[in-house]
Structures are given as C-alpha cells and as structure tokens.
C-alpha cells in the first residue's frame, strides 16, 4: 500500500457540489423516500451485491409481505426466502430474518441507532451499520463501500490504495455535512457508481473535479480509454456452484407449505455428487433442511421452517 502525507479533507465547496449534483442527477430509487430504520435496514441488505434498481423493486414487495420488524421476526425462514426470490445471495435473507428476531428480543422491536449495536446484528457489517445510522438516524458517519472508498480516496489522496482503512473511515466521517447525512450517503454512492467509476471515470463531468487530487494528477487522461491486460476466460455462470445453489433454492421455493421436494440430479451440468455437496453446504448455512432418513440416493429437501 502506498502512502500520502497529510491527506486533504473533502473541502466544503466540494461537498456542496456533490449535493447539488445529487439533487440534479442522483438516482431516484424507491427506498430513498423513507428514513424508517427498518425499511432502511431492509434496503441496505438488499442492495448488497444487487443492482440498486432491482433491489428497489424487490424492496417494495418485501415490505408489503413483512411491513414491520415484528412481522419479519414472526415469519418462517421459508416465507422470507420465497419473498427474496430474484435477489440472489440468499444468505442475506436469512441473516435479515435473524436480525429481526434479535431486534425483537434485544431491542424491543426497534432497530438500534448505535453503530456497535447495529454491527452486532446478524449480517450487518461496518458499511451497513453506518448506512443505517446515517440514513435512518441522521448520525454523521461515513458509510464506506467500494464506491465511497474510491470517491473519498481519489479526492483526498489521489488513490484509495494510498489510505489505510482507519484513515479512509476518518476522512469519510469528517466529510459528512451537518444535517445532511442521508443525502450525502446517497450522493457519494451515486457519484461512485455513475461518474467516479473504476476503469474509465468521467472526470470531465464530475462535480468535484476542481478539488480532486486524482483528476489533478491524470487530467483528461483519466477519462481516456487505456489498454487492458487480457483477462483469463471466465467460468460460465451455469457451471458454477453459485448457480447450482440458486437453482436448488428456486426449486424449493415452488413447493407449497412445509412439504419436502425430491431433488433430482443432474441439474444443468452438475451431477449427483455436485448436487449433494451443494445441498450439504446450503443445509450447513441454514438455507435448506434435508431429510437424512430417506432412502439412500434419494435427496429430499425443503426450505427451513423454523
């Protein structure tokens, strides 16, 4: 990791420019219309590793099914997994369900506002805790995901890799404008997702170009195409374990109630041995239940009911 001496803070005019840009060009996503802590927690769980627009559509349906923390905590994991269909990374659904149960048990059914208490919830890490604190409770903390790290790191140091985690978090916290923590959180995320992108940032169209060390170092070349190393061929998605796990869970979603389903192999290009390994992994993570009393060679599974 490189280093910089005395990295600059994000100057006040740059913060104002970001907020003005967001008011004009920010993405209009359904979940940004609320500061309800539970709704914000759900949206942040969904937005992890999922396109924001798709998460917004699913968020509305999910809250229709589980409008409160108590409703989610009282549901079966099977119902939660069915409502999560289409979002992928199904462990996020069961973690959110566990978080709701923890909130009911330990916080009287109200999402806590403190960073430490939020990070203690299942599936909630440093980024999600700070996003909920900033958006739902107005606490001036920086929620640092990949996009935010890139924006803050480029503005203050010219390169995010020049800053260690603690320094970057401190800079992100200090950048939050007083009374605008929710808008700022959304604005910096959008700037990183749409303008300050990894490979070909649009420095010419960036609202903070005048204050950005990265733009000062590379000028217009930052937006110019560069030669790239050839990438090794990627494994086709249907050949991956992730695809197989998703197909298994999708099959089980189609089973009504608490009934068992026979999981027959092959599934796609995955043979019986691969299906068994995938089922064992899903069961170990609490995403499916297996009937281990069934006859040898017959795989029975269902979504977890408790």
Catalytic residues: 44
Q: Where are the alpha helices (DSSP H) in 77-236?
A: 77-83, 91-106, 115-119, 126-137, 146-157, 165-175, 181-194, 213-218
**261-262/300-302 β-pairing:** antiparallel
Question: What are residue 261's DSSP bridge partners?
Answer: 301
- Is residue 12 a contact partner of residue 178, using CB atoms and an 8 Å limit? no
Question: What are residue 290's DSSP bridge partners?
Answer: 301
Give yes or no for a cis peptide into 266 (omega within 30° of 0). yes
Q: Looking at residue 9, what DSSP letter applies?
A: P
Cα-Cα-Cα-Cα torsion 268, 274, 275, 276, nearest 10 degrees, comes to 170
CA 126/CA 141 separation, integer angstroms:
11
CA 66/CA 72 separation, integer angstroms:
5
Q: Looking at residue 236, what DSSP letter applies?
A: P
* Closest-CA residue to 158 (of 215, 208, 212, 214): 214
Q: Looking at residue 261, what DSSP letter applies?
A: E
Tell me how far CA of residue 156 lies from CA of 11, 185, 214, in angstroms: 9, 17, 8
Q: Looking at residue 301, what DSSP letter applies?
A: E
Can you say whether the dihedral through the CA atoms of 210, 213, 216, 220 is positive or negative? negative
Two tokens at 93? 């659904």
* Closest-CA residue to 32 (of 136, 117, 150): 136
């Amino acid at each position: 990791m490189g280093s910089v001496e005395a990295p600059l803070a994000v100057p006040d005019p740059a913060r104002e420019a970001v907020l003005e840009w967001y008011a004009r060009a920010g993405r209009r996503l359904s979940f940004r219309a609320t500061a309800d802590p539970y709704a914000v927690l759900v949206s942040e769980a969904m937005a992890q590793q999922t396109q924001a627009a798709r998460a917004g559509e699913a968020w509305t349906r999910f809250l229709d099914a589980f409008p409160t923390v108590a409703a989610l905590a009282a549901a079966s994991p099977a119902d939660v997994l069915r409502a999560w269909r289409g979002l992928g990374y199904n462990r996020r659904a069961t973690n959110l369900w566990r978080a709701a149960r923890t909130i009911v048990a330990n916080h009287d059914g109200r999402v806590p506002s403190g960073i430490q208490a939020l990070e203690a919830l299942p599936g909630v890490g440093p980024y999600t805790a700070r996003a909920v604190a900033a958006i739902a409770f107005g606490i001036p903390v920086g929620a640092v995901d990949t996009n935010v790290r890139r924006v803050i790191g480029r503005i203050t140091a010219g390169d995010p890799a020049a800053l260690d985690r603690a320094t970057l978090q401190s800079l992100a916290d200090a950048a939050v404008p007083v009374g605008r923590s929710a808008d700022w959180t959304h604005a910096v995320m959008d700037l990183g997702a749409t303008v300050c992108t990894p490979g070909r940032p649009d420095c010419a169209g960036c609202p903070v170009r005048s204050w950005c060390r990265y733009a000062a170092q590379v000028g217009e070349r930052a937006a110019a195409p560069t030669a790239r190393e050839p990438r090794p061929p990627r494994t086709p998605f249907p050949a991956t374990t992730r695809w197989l796990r998703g197909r298994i869970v999708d099959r089980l979603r189609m089973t009504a109630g608490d009934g068992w389903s026979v999981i027959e192999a092959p599934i796609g290009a995955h043979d019986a041995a691969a299906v068994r390994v995938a089922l064992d992994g899903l069961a170990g993570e609490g995403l499916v239940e297996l009937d281990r009393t069934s006859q040898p060679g017959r795989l029975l599974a269902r979504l977890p009911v408790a």
